[in-house]
Amino acid sequence: MSIQHTVVFRLVHEPGSTAEVEFLETGRATLTSIPGVTDFAVKRQVSPKSDLTWQFSMVFADQAAYDAYNVHPAHIEFVETRWQTEVATFQEYDFVAR
Amino acid sequence: MSIQHTVVFRLVHEPGSTAEVEFLETGRATLTSIPGVTDFAVKRQVSPKSDLTWQFSMVFADQAAYDAYNVHPAHIEFVETRWQTEVATFQEYDFVAR
């Protein structure tokens, strides 16, 4: 069963800043390079009922593809070198068909 | 610009209970009857990093359609008669193209 992996987050960078754009673009380039990542999307979160402002979303064909992503060196490096310092707060959600 | 309106939630009902199924089915029937609601989906939230367990997702063609939904009597009645008593906790997010 396919799994939509999502994370909603807010960056430490100013909205509209070059640093913000660079983070989003590097995230896209890095994460889409990992085998098994499909339907990758960056969206703006605009509900005033949350203070989070961005979403990364991707789809894995199955749990094995998701597991492989989690331990992939490119994913781990992105988390350690970018995510942990440039993301102020975030929340993960994974969705599957009912 | 289209808007994906989502709410992630947990019910007061036991997982797998008849009351749970009935809530989800009534939600689907009620909300999809409202003009402007498209691509309605009920999904399970399965990440252990959140204690929310369901998602309703729908897409509006524009802000006007979203506004009309918010004030539609069927939406207001569902919130007042079902949502407020049967949902333990929830978080809304709205996503738009970057």
Span B25-67, pLDDT tens digits: 999 999 999 999 999 999 999 999 999 999 999 999 999 999 9
Quick one: pLDDT at residue B29? 98
Q: What are the CA-CA distances from residue B56 to residues A28, A39, A69, B94 (Å)?
A: 26, 20, 26, 11
CA distance A77 to A65: 18
Using one digit for the tens of pLDDT, what is the confidence trace for A7-42? 999 999 999 999 999 999 999 999 999 999 999 999
Residues of A in contact with B27 (CB under 8 A): none
* Whole-prediction pTM: 0.96
CA distance B27 to B38: 14
| Cross-chain residue pair A94–B47, CB shorter than 8 Å | yes
Quick one: pLDDT at residue B1? 93
Say if A89 is an interface residue toward chain B (CB within 8 Å). no
Say if B73 is an interface residue toward chain A (CB within 8 Å). no
Helix (H) or strand (E) holding A69: helix A63-70
Domains of chain A: 3-95 (3.30.70.100)
Task: Tell me how many degrees the CA angle B78-B84-B90 measures, rounded to the nearest 5.
Answer: 105
